[in-house]
Structure 1
C-alpha cells in the first residue's frame, strides 16, 4: 500500500500526473488537510482510494466518477460538506463506499441503485435528510448498510426485504416513523439490526422471529407496543436484546430462558407488569439485566443473587417489588452495578451482599429498609457509590473496625433516614475510611444528627456536593470548609448553627448553590466572589445576619446597604426545595462501570434516578473517529 505524502504546506498534491497514473492504491491517513484536488480523477487505473481520518474540507469532487476502475472509496472521518455527486453512479465496479462522519447533506442519491456490485455502504454521522430511497433495496449484494445519525425521515422501505445478503443494518438515531416492515423477516443472514432512537410504532413483526442468525437486536427509544411474543425463543443466536423506552406491555416472556447466548437484556422504561419468573435464572450467560422503570411486582426471585457468574449489571429500580432482598448472593458474585431503588422492599440488607466484591455502585434508596447502617459493606474495596437514602435506617453511625474500609467511595447518600447522634468524629468515620481526598458527594440530610460539624470535613478536597440540611447540628460552620475549593453545592439549612459565616468560604469559587437558611447565624455575610451571586433565599430565617444581599445594614451608622435591582427576595418555594442530589459525577473518569459516565440528579420529589450510559447496553455512543 502506498502512502502519498502531503506537500510542505500540508495540502494534497495538485495533480495525479506526477508519475502516479499507474497506481492501484492511494492510502492517506492523519496527514493531510485542505480540499480533495479534482485532478485525482485523472488517476485512471486507481482501484483503492482511502482518504479517511484526515482534515479534508470542501465538497467531494465529481471528477472521482471518472475513475471507472475504482473498487474501494473511503472518505470517512473528515470535514466534507455538500451533496454526494450523482455522477458517482458511473462507478459500476465499486464494492465499498464509506463517507461516514462528515458534514454531507441533501438526499441520498437514487442513483446509488446503479452500483450493483456494492457490498458495503456507510453514510453514517452526516446530515442527510429526506426519505431513504427505496431503490437501495435493489442492491442485493449489500452485506453492510449504515445510515445512522442523520436526519432521515419517512418509513423504512419495504424493499429492504430484498437485501437477503445483508448482515448488518444500522438505521438508528434518525426520524424514521411508521411500522417496521414485515419484509425484514426475509433477511435470513442478518446478524445486527439497530433501529433505536427513531419514531417507529406498532407491534413487533412476527416475521422477525425467523431471523435465525440475529445476534444483536436494538429497537429501543421508539413507540413500539404490545406484548413480547414467546416466539422470541426462535432467536437462538441472540446475544443482545434492547427494547427499552417503548410502550411494551404484558409479562417478561419465559422464552428468554431458552436463549443460550443471551448476554444483555434491557427493557427498562416500558409498561411490563406481573412477577419475575424464576425461569429467568436459566439465562446463565447473562451479563446485563435491566428491568427498571416498569410495573413489575411480587418478590425478587432468590436465584437472582447467584444464577450467573457473569452478571455485572442488575437493575430493578422503580418497580413495585415487595418483601425482603434475597439472602443468596454467592461467593462468586460478579456484580458491579446493583440498583433496587424505588421499590417497596423491607427488612435489612442481606449480609451476603458482602460477597459482591466487585460492586462499584449500590443503590437501594427509596425503599422501606430498617435496621442500622450495614458496616459490613466496608469490605467492598471497589465500591464508589453507596445510596441508602429514603429508607427507615436508624441508630448512630459507628466507626468502622476494618483497617481500610470503603477505599474508593465517592458518593455517600444516607439522606431521609432516622440516623441519630453526632456526625462521626475525626478519628471515626472520616479518617478511618481513608477517603479524605476521594469523596465526591455526601448527603446526610433529613436525619436526626446533632452536635458539631467536624472540622475534618475540610479535608475532603475532592468534594463537589455536601448536604447536611434538616438535622439538629449546632455550633459554628468550620473555618476549614474554605478548603473545599471544588465544592459546587452546599446545603446546611434547617439546623441550629450559630456565630458568623466564615469569610474563608469565599475561596469556594465553584460554588453555584448555597443554602444556609433557617439557622441562628449572626453578623455580616462575606462579600465578593461567589457570594455576590447568592440571593436572599440563601440566608432566610437567620434574623441576626446583615449585609448584601439583605437589606439590613451592618454599618454602625444604621444606613442600609443598597442591593442591585435584579436581586429579588426568593419566594417560599425556593427555600423549601428538597435539594437532594445535584449533578455530582458529571464526566467522572473511566473507572466506574465499564468506563461509563454516571450522573446522579434530583427529580420531582427528591427521589434519585440513575442514568447509566452503557455501550451496547442502554445507548450506543462510542465515537467512531479519533485523531488522538
Structure 2
C-alpha cells in the first residue's frame, strides 16, 4: 500500500536493488496480504536480473506458476511461493533455473511430474534447499541420491513410494531431512556412517512405514536438535546412546512398538524441551533422571505401561507447561512436588492407580492451570476448596474416584470454566446452584453420586447455564420438578450462533492433547461420546426421583442429541412438542409413570436411532412411521395398553378403553365400573370388591366380559334407533 510510483522503486518495502546498476534483484512480499492471480504477461517476468522471489503466505488462490518463470534462468537463485494457494502443474521450465539455490513450493495444491522431480533431486548441482511439502509427486524415491550440495530436503506428504535410500545419511552437507507422512515409503532405519562427522540437525521420518529397531549408533548424530520417529513400526528398546544427542531439543517416539524401560540417559539431554513417548509399550518406572531436563516444557508419557510412583524430581521441571501421563499403571499418592511447577497449564493424570487425597496445594497453584484431569483413579477424601486464583481454568475432571463431601463452592471463582466433571464419586450435599453463574460452562457432569434435594433455580442469576451443552445429573437422589427455568436458558442447545458469532465447540477449548469424553446411559447401556462438540448436546437426568410432567420447554432445545429422563416418577403425557427435536438421536423416557398415547409427532424425527418408552402406562397404537419400524419390542414393553408393530396388532377398541386397560394394575378397573352400571351400583361395587380381594378369578372375568358385551350392544342398538328417528 505504501508503494508510490512517484518515488524510486528501490526504496519500496520488499524491494531490493543492485547498488551499482539499480536493477531489482530481490522481491520479498511475504505476508503482504496480496490477492489475485499471476498472469503469464505479468511485468514481473521483465525483471531480468531478479535473484530472489518470495511470495509466501499470500492469497494468490487459483494462480498457476507460469512457464515464464524460465526467463530467470540466468539470475534466479531463491524462489519461495509456499502457502499461497497456487494450483496446477509445476512447469517443466523450473529445471532450467540452473542457478537455483533454494526452491520452496510447499503447501500448495501443486503437482510435480516425476521426471521434473528426479531432475531437481539428482541434476541440480547448486541446489541447497528443496521444500516440496504437500506437493503431489506420487513417485518412487530414488534408491540412491547424489545431492552433494543439499543442506535441507523437505518432502513431507508428497505421496512418495519405494524404499528409503540407504545412503541418505551420507550426504556431506545435509542438515535437515523431512520425509514424513508418506505412507507408502518403507524400509528400515537408514545406515549411519561413523567414518565422517554428520551435520544432520533435523530428522523427521514420522508417519511412514519405517520398521526395525533404532540402531544404537544413532548416538553418532550428535548435531541433531529435532528427532521425530512417531507413528512408525519401530520396535525394540530406546537405545541408551540416545543420551549422546546432547543438542536435542525435540524428541518424539510416540505411537510406535517400542518397549522396555525409558533409559536413564534421557537425563543427559539438558536442552530437551519436548519429550513425547506416548502410545508405546514402554514399561517400568519413570526414571528419576527425567527431572534433570531443566528446559523441558512438554512431557507426554500417556497410554504406555509405565508403573511405580512419579519421582519427586518431576517438580524440578520449572519450565514445564504440559504434563500428560494418562492411561498408565502409575500408583501411589499424588506427588506434591507437581504443585511447585509454576508454569504448568495442562495436567492429565487420569486412568491410573493413584490413591490418597488430592493435595490442597493443587488449588493454591492453579493460577496458570487450563486443564486438570485426575479422573479414574483411587483418590479419596474431599475435593480441595482452595481455588483462589483459577480464573483461566477451562476444565476440571475428577470423575471415577472415591471423593466425598460437597462440591466445593470455591470453584465458583473459576469464571472461565468450560468443563466440570465430578461424576462417579461419593459426593453428597445439594445441587451446586452457583454453577449456573459460570457463563462459559459447557459441560456439567455430576452423575453417580449421592447428591439430593430439589434443583432450585436462583432468582439472582439472570441467565443461568447460557453456554451449557452437556448436563448429566443421572443416578443421584434429586427430587421435585424438572428445572424448567434452566431449560429455558440453555441457549447453546437452541442456537449455533450467539451474539453474531458461531459458538466454539467444547473440543476446541479442551483438546490440548486429548479429547474430552462423556458417557451417558442410553437404553440400559453406557454409550461413550468421545468427542464433545457443538453438535453433541446431551441432557441426562435419569435415575433420580423427579416428579411432575415433562415441561414442553424442552422442545425448544433444537440441537439436543441425547435426552434421558428415564427411571424417575414423571407423570402426565409425553409432550407433543417433543417432535420439534428434529436432531435428537436418543430419547429415553422409560420407567416413569407417563400415560396417554405416544405422540405422532415423534415420527417426524428422522434422526432418532434409539427410543425407549418402556415401563410406563402408555396406551393406544404405536405411531406408524419409517423410523419407528426400526425399533424393537423392548423399546415399548411394560405398557399393557400399547399395541401395534413391533407389539401385537391393535384390537378395535378406543384409545380411552386402551388407556383404562393400561390402568388395571392400579386396582380399580373399568370392569368394576361396568359392573356397577349393569347390576346396580351397590351390587357392582360389592362384586368389584370381591374381585379385587380374590385376585380376579377367571369366572368373574367371564361374567364381566359378558356384561360389557351386553351393554355395548344395547348402546349400539339405541344409537341406531336414534339415527332412524
Q: TM-score, normalised by structure 1?
A: 0.83
Counterpart Cα distance in 1 of 2:128 and 2:80? 13
Counterpart check, 1:90 vs 2:187: no
Shift of 1:371: 1.0
Aligned to 1:235: 293
Counterpart Cα distance in 2 of 1:67 and 1:246? 45
Counterpart check, 1:46 vs 2:104: no
Aligned to 1:552: 649
Are the aligned partners of 2:345 and 2:369 in contact in 1 as well (CA < 8 Å)?
Answer: yes
Q: Which residue, 359, 365, 389 being the options, matches 2:423?
A: 365
Distance change (3 Å), C-alpha of 1:21 and 1:520 = farther
Superposed CA offset, 1:342-374 (max 9, x none)? 000111111111111111100000000111111
Q: Which residue, 534, 537, 553 being the options, matches 1:456?
A: 553
Q: Which residue, 463, 466, 469 being the options, matches 1:404?
A: 463
Q: 1:250-329 to 2 correspondence within 5 Å?
A: 250-329=308-387
Aligned to 2:263: 205
Q: 1:149-548 to 2 correspondence within 5 Å?
A: 149-401=207-459, 402-425=461-484, 428-431=485-488, 437=494, 440-548=537-645
Are the aligned partners of 1:242 and 1:266 in contact in 2 as well (CA < 8 Å)?
Answer: yes
Superposition RMSD in Å: 2.5
Superposed CA offset, 1:84-107 (max 9, x none)? 1346x2221111111112221222
SS at match of 2:267: helix
Q: Which residue, 175, 182, 186 being the options, matches 1:129?
A: 186
Counterpart Cα distance in 1 of 2:212 and 2:347? 33
Task: Say which structure, 1 or 2, has more relative contact order (CA 8 Å, 6+ apart).
Answer: 1
Aligned to 1:26: 79
Aligned to 1:563: none
Shift of 1:114: 3.9
Counterpart Cα distance in 2 of 1:142 and 1:324? 53
Distance change (3 Å), C-alpha of 1:554 and 1:187 = farther
Counterpart Cα distance in 1 of 2:111 and 2:310? 50
Counterpart Cα distance in 2 of 1:324 and 1:410? 27
Aligned to 2:174: 118
Aligned to 1:80: 137
Distance change (3 Å), C-alpha of 1:151 and 1:553 = farther
Shift of 1:58: 6.0
Are the aligned partners of 2:143 and 2:163 in contact in 1 as well (CA < 8 Å)?
Answer: no
Shift of 1:296: 0.6
Aligned to 1:576: none
Shift of 1:115: 2.0
Counterpart Cα distance in 2 of 1:135 and 1:331? 52
Superposed CA offset, 1:584-605 (max 9, x none)? xxxxxxxxxxxxxxxxxxxxxx
Superposed CA offset, 1:507-550 (max 9, x none)? 22221211112222111222234223223222222232223333
Aligned to 2:163: 107
Shift of 1:31: 5.1
Superposed CA offset, 1:538-577 (max 9, x none)? 22222322233334246689xxxxxxxxxxxxxxxxxxxx
Superposed CA offset, 1:122-157 (max 9, x none)? 111111222121237877211111111222121122
Counterpart Cα distance in 1 of 2:540 and 2:308? 38
Which range moves more in the overlay, 23-32 or 514-523? 23-32
Are the aligned partners of 2:251 and 2:274 in contact in 1 as well (CA < 8 Å)?
Answer: yes
Aligned to 1:620: none
Report the structure, 1 or 2, having the larger helix content.
2
SS at match of 2:192: helix
Distance change (3 Å), C-alpha of 1:514 and 1:201 = same
Are the aligned partners of 1:305 and 1:333 in contact in 2 as well (CA < 8 Å)?
Answer: no
SS at match of 1:377: helix
Distance change (3 Å), C-alpha of 1:156 and 1:397 = same
Are the aligned partners of 2:616 and 2:638 in contact in 1 as well (CA < 8 Å)?
Answer: yes
Unaligned runs of 5+ in 1: 558-628
Are the aligned partners of 2:291 and 2:317 in contact in 1 as well (CA < 8 Å)?
Answer: yes
Counterpart Cα distance in 2 of 1:322 and 1:225? 27
SS at match of 2:354: strand
Aligned to 2:676: none
Counterpart Cα distance in 2 of 1:290 and 1:450? 39
Shift of 1:14: 6.1
SS at match of 2:329: coil
Shift of 1:7: 6.4
Distance change (3 Å), C-alpha of 1:273 and 1:17 = closer
Are the aligned partners of 2:170 and 2:193 in contact in 1 as well (CA < 8 Å)?
Answer: no
Distance change (3 Å), C-alpha of 1:11 and 1:372 = closer
Are the aligned partners of 2:476 and 2:544 in contact in 1 as well (CA < 8 Å)?
Answer: yes
Counterpart Cα distance in 1 of 2:39 and 2:156? 23
Structure with the greater alpha carbon radius of gyration: 2
SS at match of 1:200: strand
Distance change (3 Å), C-alpha of 1:445 and 1:332 = closer
Are the aligned partners of 1:188 and 1:212 in contact in 2 as well (CA < 8 Å)?
Answer: yes
Give the total of aligned pairs.
Answer: 554
Counterpart Cα distance in 1 of 2:171 and 2:85? 30
Which range moves more in the overlay, 285-294 or 506-515? 506-515
Are the aligned partners of 1:77 and 1:102 in contact in 2 as well (CA < 8 Å)?
Answer: yes
SS at match of 1:104: coil
Superposed CA offset, 1:228-277 (max 9, x none)? 12222211111111111111111111111122211111111111111123
Counterpart check, 1:145 vs 2:197: no
Are the aligned partners of 2:76 and 2:100 in contact in 1 as well (CA < 8 Å)?
Answer: yes
Counterpart Cα distance in 1 of 2:492 and 2:168? 60
Q: TM-score, normalised by structure 2?
A: 0.72
Are the aligned partners of 1:365 and 1:391 in contact in 2 as well (CA < 8 Å)?
Answer: yes
